[in-house]
Structure formats: C-alpha cells, structure tokens
Structure 1
Amino acid sequence: MTTDIPDADRTAWEKAGVRLDLDGELATVTLCDPTRRNAQTPAMWRALAAVGRALPGTVRVVLLRGEGSSFSAGLDRAMFTPEGIPGETGFLQLAASPDAELDATIAFYQEAFTWWRRTDLVTVAAVQGHAVGAGFQLALACDLRVVAEDVQFAMKETSLGLVPDLTGTKPLTELVGYARALEICATGRRIGADEAVAIGLANLAVPADDLHAAAADLAAALLAAPRNAVIETKSLLRGAIDRTCDQQRAAERESQARRLRDLAGR
C-alpha cells in the first residue's frame, strides 16, 4: 500500500463511495456503497476522477469492482427530485442553467468515465448484479469486462427521456455495432451474462462466487506481458477503428520499430 496518497483524500473518496487499494502495478478501485447498490452521485464521480489523477505512474492494470449484490444500480434517483442531493446541483436546477454552464457540468461529470481508456493502463471491470445506466457506462469505460452469471446490464437513460451521456455510447457501438447499440439504448432492456459474452459486451462470464478470482487472474495475466509492448498494442488496437488498412499497416510498422529499438537498446 502506497503512502503517497493522503489519508484525508482516501477518507473523502470512501465517504463518496469509492475506495482505492494499491498493490505494486495493480490498482483496485471499489465502489463501496453496497447498501445503496453503489448508486452514483456527483460526489462519487468527483472521487473517481480524483482517483484517476492520483494513480502512481507505476500502475499498469486497474481492476474496477463493486461491493455487494450489484456493481452499480445507476444514478441516484434523488438527482431527479426537487429536493435533490444536499450540496449538489439537481437535474432540475441544471436544466435551468445557461448553455455553457450546462455543457461544462456534464463535461465535468464525464471526467470520471474517461481516464479508464488511458493508453498506459489496461482496465478491467468485474461486474455482478445490476449494471444500469451510469453503472453500465462505467463498466463500458473499461477495456475489458468479466461478469458474474447474475449480471443485468441495462441502458435506462432513453426510457427516462434522457440520453446516455457518460461516455458510454462510443464503446457500446464499437463493441456491438450501431443497430444493436440503438436497440439496447432505445428499449432499455436487460442483457444477461450469456448474451453479454455472445455480443461482445463481456470477455468472460463466471459463477458469482468466482467473479473476483477470475478478474484477478486476468489482471495477473495482463501484468505478465512487458509494459511497453502492452501500451503499444493497446494504442494500435484503439486507433484501428478510425484508420484505413494502409494507415494501420503504417502504424504497426512504426510501433514495431519503436519496440525493436527499445529491445536492442537494452
């Protein structure tokens, strides 16, 4: 456990429902509000964004998990009420704000969901029970997903008259294709473990009791490969979607040249 992160920060994050544990090159981020099924709030999003900024440069793999029976049941519904959450801007207030302020607030919320895609990290979500709305999008923010057999993904925003705005639309479309992504979002239906694996949402489904062991085994396998090779490979794969075949071939040559020179330099 590193001592570089102040205890006050850790305490504040846990109060918001997020815990960070560090073990060498592995970081484990836990949503730790199981009595509320890890419902998400702006405070949780601020904590998640802060955790991303605070990760030591030695971390290579981040494992995301949720305590209790649900990974995350989505947004705290109090955000929709006139009373809202004490100390937070409720959605009714947010809707009445000027355009620039509204845009900036949503962009700020999105920060909690963006750092998981950093090229220098491989991120793994271990997902059980409900992963709804914001919970679904947080799982989608990670590179890989291991799910329990009881998992229930659902994108409920459209059913509530909203859209998924926490960075989930791009990875969902990349994973399952436009037509299936539209159907999942527009209907808000639930996706179980078998379907999640079949359509590419999940890499692996295991019994609930084996979830965290399976995710830990995957993290260990990822850490076994040389760091710079993994970084280069992740960068190649993430960029492949937007490149032509010739551009991808050129990117492969450039990446391999860097690896060969690095290895020769040792």
Structure 2
Amino acid sequence: MASPDPQHTAGTEVFAKDGVRLAVDDATATVTLINPDKRNAQSPALWRALAEAGRALPGSVRVVVLRGEGKSFSAGLDRQAFTPEGFDGEPSFLDMARGDDAELDAVIAEYQEAFTWWRRSDLITIAAVQGHAIGAGFQLALACDLRVAADDVQFAMRETSLGLVPDLTGTHPLVSLVGYARALEICATGRFVHAEEAERIGLANLVVPGTELDAAASDLAAALLAAPRDAVIETKALLQGAVTRSYEDQRIAERAAQGRRLRDLAGLGD
C-alpha cells in the first residue's frame, strides 16, 4: 500500500477501516480512500464506512476534503460484486435481484447513504480527483460540492455497459453541471472525460498537475474557511434551492436569508 501524504495524516485520526480513513484537523476533515492496490475499488463495506464518516464528523468541521491514495481516485465498483459469491457476509448482486421490490429498494437506499451526506448545507465538500474516477468513483466525486482534478483524471460512467444505471446519486449533479444532453451522452456511451474537457464543461472547478493536487485542495479548503460559517451555510442553501425555485421564489428566499444574517450580525438572532 502506498504511503499517505504526510500533510493528510496530520490532525486526529478518527478511524481507518474498510478502505476509508477519516482524520479531523479543527475545521477541516479529510476522508481518504486507502486501498490503492485495488485502485480504491468500492464495496458495500466501504460504503458503510463512508456513511459512518459523515456521522462521525464533529460539529467544528466546515470543510471536508475527499481524496484517494495511489494513482486512481476510485476505479468504481469492485467486480467481485458481480460474482455468484459476492463479498463475504454480503448479499451478491444476484441474490439482491432475487429479493422482492421493497427489499431491493432498501438495500440500494442503504448503499446511497455513502453518497448523500456530502451536500449537507453545513459543509462544503471537495473531491481531489486523480487518475481513474469510474462508475461509483465518478459518482462519489459528483457527490461533493466541488472537484479539483489532476491533469491525468479520467471520468467515466460505465454502468450502462454492464446493463445497469448510475444509482448512487450521480445523475442529479451530473445533469445540473453539464446539462441533460451531455449527461446522457456521457452515461450512454461510457466514454472517458479527460481533464481539459472536464474543466471546460464544468465537471472540474480546477485542473492542476498531479503533484499539486493535494496542495490545491488544501488551498481551496483554506479559502472556503475565510468567510463566516453562517454566511457560507446560508449561501449554499440559497444556491442549492435555486435549481427548483422560480425567479420570484428565489428573490423571496434571498430576502429571508439576508434578514437572518442582518439580525445575527446585529446581535438580534435567536
């Protein structure tokens, strides 16, 4: 296993298990995928560990950086999931398919929990992505608010080539970022999206040389911590809601949010 970057072992390690390490340094948490020998391939155990990381964050954390050790961020679902035996102690995909609709829905919903907490309004989350980000790996990067990519990044949504669909919450952010037509083309063809295109179409906020990836993510985290926490929380909630609100409803939401901020700054908040 590759040695982790020393700057990402600073702070307090909360846990390291099932391919996931969580460390906290004051207002910043770092979640690291720690199975580079398998290109950080994902499994139900890893998804449970990711969900646990979200629950374990102390209230002081404002920014979470997600990264993967080794040459690849995550090459996607471990293909062992498609074998008859599956993973030890886990239902295989074939066993899942034999269950009734409610059971199957409940299992997939549990898996999705690893991907949902990254967009909490009280956090800003950054994926630092290098090498392969395929399938579940692509969807994990999409689960974050922001993406900093190395210049060797390769995003791809390969689920359709396996006869499946992207079901780990990746379709909504993908369409929001690149639009329906381009999202359909990326998913249906399963092609690679490389760094230059990723930045051009909005998948990546920033592209840097691979040797600068961790530093760029750290610099972005520091910049995000510069503004007062409550102002950032209100702004994130406004922008998230803008997708579904009408123009007039967004104006109303802006006024209400600003009213709360002004009262708080005047010492008149609840």
What is the TM-score normalised by the length of structure 2? Answer: 0.94
* 1:44 aligned to which of 43, 46, 51: 46
Q: How many residues align?
A: 258
Match runs of 1:247-262 below 5 Å: 247-262=249-264
Q: Deviations over 1:18-41 (max 9, x none)?
A: 001100000000000000000000
Check conservation: 2:29, 2:64, Cα contact below 8 A. yes
State, as a whole percentage, how many aligned pairs show the same letter: 72
Q: Which runs of 4+ in 1 moved over 6 A?
A: none
**Amino acid corresponding to residue 259 of structure 1 in structure 2:** R
What stretches of structure 2 of length at least 5 have no aligned partner? 1-10
TM-superposed deviation, 1:86? 1.1
Partner of 1:208: 210
Measure the CA separation in 1 of the matches of 2:230 and 2:88: 45
TM-superposed deviation, 1:2? 4.8
**Amino acid corresponding to residue 138 of structure 1 in structure 2:** L
Partner of 1:19: 21
Partner of 1:30: 32
Farther off after superposition, 108-117 or 86-95: 86-95
TM-superposed deviation, 1:244? 0.6
Q: Deviations over 1:76-99 (max 9, x none)?
A: 000001121111111011111111
TM-superposed deviation, 1:71? 0.1
Match runs of 1:77-226 below 5 Å: 77-226=79-228
Partner of 1:68: 70
Is the aligned partner of 1:246 residue 2:248? yes
**Amino acid corresponding to residue 168 of structure 1 in structure 2:** G
Measure the CA separation in 1 of the matches of 2:56 and 2:240: 24
Check conservation: 2:17, 2:49, Cα contact below 8 A. no
Measure the CA separation in 2 of the matches of 1:52 and 1:15: 14
| DSSP-derived class of the 1:21 partner | strand
Q: Deviations over 1:83-120 (max 9, x none)?
A: 21111111011111111110000000000000000000
Q: Deviations over 1:226-263 (max 9, x none)?
A: 00000000000000010111000000000000000100
Measure the CA separation in 1 of the matches of 2:91 and 2:225: 40
Measure the CA separation in 2 of the matches of 1:85 and 1:43: 9
Measure the CA separation in 2 of the matches of 1:68 and 1:16: 16
| DSSP-derived class of the 1:265 partner | coil
Measure the CA separation in 2 of the matches of 1:176 and 1:253: 29
TM-superposed deviation, 1:159? 1.1
**Amino acid corresponding to residue 198 of structure 2 in structure 1:** A
What stretches of structure 1 of length at least 5 have no aligned partner? none
Q: Deviations over 1:175-226 (max 9, x none)?
A: 0000000000000000000000000000000000000000000000001110
**Amino acid corresponding to residue 250 of structure 1 in structure 2:** I
Check conservation: 2:148, 2:204, Cα contact below 8 A. yes
